[in-house]
Structure formats: C-alpha cells, structure tokens
Structure 1
C-alpha cells in the first residue's frame, strides 16, 4: 500500500519504501529461471516532495512492443521532476522473459502476461508474475498509463483504448489528447481492465509497430504523458493537450477488422491514419504470377487505425483495422489537416483549449 505510519506520502512495496523527495531504481524479483536465478523487472519510483496522485506508467507487457519502453524511460530519467506533486511509478519492461527473447508472450508455455492480471499466488507462472507486479506497484496507484504497439506484421496509428462508460477512465482518456479513442472494457485479465475494475482508472495507448523504436510515436507518447500529468496536477508547468479533433469509437459498433478472402501477396494502397471512403480500394491481393487480382474495398467511410505491414496473407488474415467517422468528424479532420488524408501528426492546440 502507499504510505506508512511514519510518512503517509511515502511509497511502500513488499521489499522497501521510497520517501518523499527520493528516487529509487529497483530490480524487483518476480520469478525464477530454470537455473533458479531471479527474473527481475526494472522499476523506477520518483516520489515528489509535495503530495499528489500516484501514477504508474507501464510498457512491454508484450515483450516485443518497444516504443512504450522509451516513453517510460524518458519520463523516469530525462524529465525534470523538481516540482513533482505526487509519485511516478515507472515500469518500462513488464515481460522481461519475453523482452529478452524478443517475443510477444512469456516463453514459459507461451502465456500472455497481459491476460494474467491481477494474478494469483499458487497459480501459473504468468499469474504469479502478474500478482507480484499488480500488488506491489500498480495497486497503490491512483491512475495508470499502459503503453503497447501493434503485434508484429502490423502497425497502428496512435490511439487510446479505454472504458469510456467509466467517468474516471473517461477523464483520463481524454486528457491524453489522442485523436481516436476506442471505447471498451477490454478483455478479462488485461492490465487496464483489471486495474480499472480495482478502482485505478487506466488506459491503453497503442502506437506504431513491434520490434522498433519509432521516434515520432515516442514523442507523441511523451506529449500525452505531459498532458495527463498536467490534468491531474502532477506537473504544474505543463498544459493539457487538445488534439484538434477527436472521435470516440464504440468498440462493438463502429469499427471492424477487414480480413482477406483470398491468400496471396498484398499491395496496400493506404497507410495507417488514412481517411478512406466507402468503395475505395484499400489494398489488392494477387497471386505470384499476378494473373489473379482481388481488390479489397472499404465497407464504409472511415479511418485506418491499423494496417498490415507483412505483405502475405492466408484467407481470414487481418488486412486493416478500420473505424467509422461521422461527416462532422471528417470535416474537422480535413480542416485541421489542411485537407490532407493522413492524420498522424496533431495540430497545436487552440489557446486555452483544455483537455476535455
């Protein structure tokens, strides 16, 4: 739990305490290898001199998703926290075994750490790890940001996933300042769902692709963190970000995965973040001789949140992730982008815009 009898503003975990005004770099043991050596996750706890919210930042729950690692590291080690109000709990690599193997899942029985929260003692390896992470470093917090990328072979534009029916999560999601928010509870066992259900509003930030550092996404992620910390009074010198336009998508109704109906080689005609119109050809699937060609058309007018990077498919493989946009949102998008069709870079916020 956060605090102690001696100092209620201290951050405590099972093996230690970080007092106000202190920063600690910790390698915390959550499991053991086949040889009995410890599996340790890196944790940086920055406790401000003044009281305020406790915020966790997590990345690499999937071991090959790297962009968020650099966001969390830069917040922890490159930002000036002299005026910090509250505490930052920075966990840049949750899935250390997957990270070392550069694999999405835990190499132990191929388990998904991000379906194992809040964890359970005496259960599987994944749930034991998740239990240690959850109860030592997530449960004491007030809000959380969990960074992800697309799985390998695909790429995402930056967007937020959040349960917008939860008012506290809604506030957090909007304060991050992304153009697109996809609203859902999230699957059971995911970090954001289980922490939100526990009473800690948490959002997932999806950005870019696996196995890479992509500077444009890292910088966008850092802008979002600045905006959140301003919204909650953690960093008073920063401003809440308005992205210029925003759409909130109902996960069950206003989005779709477009899948291949034929196997072959894919020629993608639009990038992530592109606005496509109903009937536009998103991509073409051809055989090795280019004697057969199957165009794949947009079923409605919307935004390509994610697209295929690996240009080979079997029937049923996903080609792109598409969300529907209203006419009003399309007009706002074009106005803010000077009528360009790709929406990767947000415009500066209007003066005194605020975050909601």
Structure 2
C-alpha cells in the first residue's frame, strides 16, 4: 500500500479495499445543528482513476439521486479499479424543502463552486464539498434534471474543446451532447478548470423518479467505467447516433408570445421539421388559437410540462441537426417510440 492508494478527506481516510458511508458536515442550522450530506466512498483494491458521481445540487432534481444510489448500493463494485465517490444529495437543505435552491438565501449551489471558506453560506458549503470530494478526482458526472414544469431528453453538456472532457462525454454515450463551457460557479465548469474532466447529464423533470431515464443514465455510467478501466467487465457503448451541438449549430428556446394554456404536439426527443406546429396556445374559451411553429428542422431536447404560460415563458428547447444525423434520427424514430 502506498499513500497514493489512500483516499483522504477532512476528518478521515479510506484505504484500498474499504468502503465508507458517512454524513459529512457542510454547514449548520439556525440552532447550530450540523447540516450533513450523505457520501459513500468505495476505494478499490486495484489502482485506477478517482471518479465522482453527484446529484441534487438543485434540491428538487431527483432522477440523479436514484442513479447515484443504485451505483453505490446495488452494483457489484468488488472488482472496482480506482476510487468512486458517490454524492447522491449535494443540496440537503433544498432537498428537505423540495425546492431548487438553498432555502434561506435562495442561492444556487450550482453557481457557488469552488466555494470559499469565508464567504456566503452557499459558497462555504460548496467549498466543503469541492475541496474534499471533487478536486481530488480525475473524472466526474454531475446529474441534473430540467427545472420544475419542464422536461429534458437525456443528454450531456460538456466543454468539447477540452480533450479530456470530450473523451468523457463521448464515453457516456448519449445521442446529444451540447457543447458549452458552462457558467461560472457550476460544478462541472470549476472542476474542468482544476483539471477534473466533468460533464453535466440532464435527464427528465424535477420532483420524480423516471425509471426509463434512470436506466439509461446507469448505462452511461457503466460505459464511463469501461472507458476508464474502472470495471473491466463493462464495454463502452455506442448510442446508435450522436450529434454534438456547437455554437455553429442553431439552437433556441421557443417562447410564448401570448398567455394561455399549451397543447404540446410532440414529445421530448422528437424530430420536428421547419414549419411544423410544435404546440398551440389557447385562451379559456378556445376561440383564439395561437400556433407555434418550428423555425428550423431539429430535435426537441426539452419541452414544457406545465401547460400554462405567460408571454415570454419558454415552450421548448430546439436544436438543429445536420442532414445526415437528421436522416438517421428519422429512421430511428420511425422504428422506435420517442421519449428519451
């Protein structure tokens, strides 16, 4: 055993071949009681990379919680090479309140990384998480869902200009990768700055477990473990087709120009053609229908779930496909049901 084989954090260590479940203190309540996040660390007996799986940086985003829990507590990790850090609920106060942001100051934990030990409560919490469990890693997957009232098809968001991040994103195996550096303070953005290859995985909607998406996300985790040799029995998967949405490719949120109730005519993940009526907005009497048409041919990465809108509210997230990918998607959707 060498020091390099031992995973250490503030207050403890995990030796090769060991597993620890802990509740790690990240803050305090008004009463001075500790705020703890659940953490599971599995240190394999054989060397390999250190990886993190994180979820619920937004407290109402539940799909990723189940992904991380199933990997940590249901998978056979006895042959794990390297170290795996599982963080199923980053934003415990938000999770307990079942709301997106930290409840007290309405701060976004996923705009607070890498944090600071002498700044706001959100940044202090972020610093405790980041320095102990994110910064020591080589790679990481941060699971999210759409915000309340909307839903996303499963896709990755990654800085494809970074070769290490691009390798991770492709290994995860989603059909769609949205190429972006991410905003300052995002967990994945700050991790990449510190040479930790990290991506965001978006999947479904808030406030629920969606089994089909969870299973798809778990397949992506297995593929990543195969790519990095963490579980040698696994294989890197090919999703059948892939498109990387870059700045050169058109993408837009279609927004409502009127208030009313929305009848969405397509599911998330659907291919729509230029001029297709994506949805219809009506008033309570259904005597004034406003048709919302696709401005270009593309894929509906995200759509509205809550069917009521004010003017300016987002209706759907549309991304452009090149002709070759479009033909592949058309054939794929003609033989399979939509709804990734």
Structure-2-length-normalised TM-score: 0.98
Residue 309 in 1 paired to residue 305 in 2?
A: yes
SS at match of 1:26: strand
Match of 1:287 among 265, 280, 283: 283
Match of 1:329 among 313, 325, 328: 325
Match of 2:137 among 134, 138, 141: 141
Match of 1:297 among 293, 297, 314: 293
* Corresponding residue for residue 166 of structure 1: 162
Q: Deviations over 1:208-254 (max 9, x none)?
A: 00000110011011000000000000000001010000000015742
SS at match of 1:8: helix
What is the count of residue pairs matched by the alignment? 340
* Corresponding residue for residue 197 of structure 2: 201
Residue 30 in 1 paired to residue 20 in 2?
A: no
SS at match of 2:292: strand
CA contact (8 A) 2:271 2:330 kept: no
d(CA) in 1 for partners of 2:255 and 2:99?
24
* Corresponding residue for residue 319 of structure 1: 315
d(CA) in 2 for partners of 1:335 and 1:23?
46
CA contact (8 A) 2:260 2:308 kept: yes
d(CA) in 2 for partners of 1:74 and 1:178?
19
- Greater Cα offset, 321-330 or 97-106: 321-330
Structure-1-length-normalised TM-score: 0.94
- The structural deviation recorded for 1:6 is 5.4
* Corresponding residue for residue 71 of structure 2: 75
Residue 132 in 1 paired to residue 139 in 2?
A: no
CA contact (8 A) 1:337 1:343 kept: no
* Corresponding residue for residue 351 of structure 1: none
How well do the aligned residues superpose, as a CA RMSD in angstroms? 1.2
d(CA) in 2 for partners of 1:284 and 1:335?
27
Structure 1 alignment gaps of length 5 or more: 345-356
d(CA) in 1 for partners of 2:44 and 2:135?
19
- The structural deviation recorded for 1:327 is 1.2
CA contact (8 A) 1:65 1:148 kept: yes
- The structural deviation recorded for 1:266 is 0.5
Q: Summarize the Cα distance change of 1:27–1:252 in structure 2 as closer, same or farther, 3 Å threshold.
A: farther
d(CA) in 2 for partners of 1:326 and 1:59?
32
d(CA) in 2 for partners of 1:293 and 1:99?
39
Alignment of 1:76-91 (within 5 A): 76-91=72-87
d(CA) in 1 for partners of 2:332 and 2:51?
32
Q: Summarize the Cα distance change of 1:112–1:146 in structure 2 as closer, same or farther, 3 Å threshold.
A: same
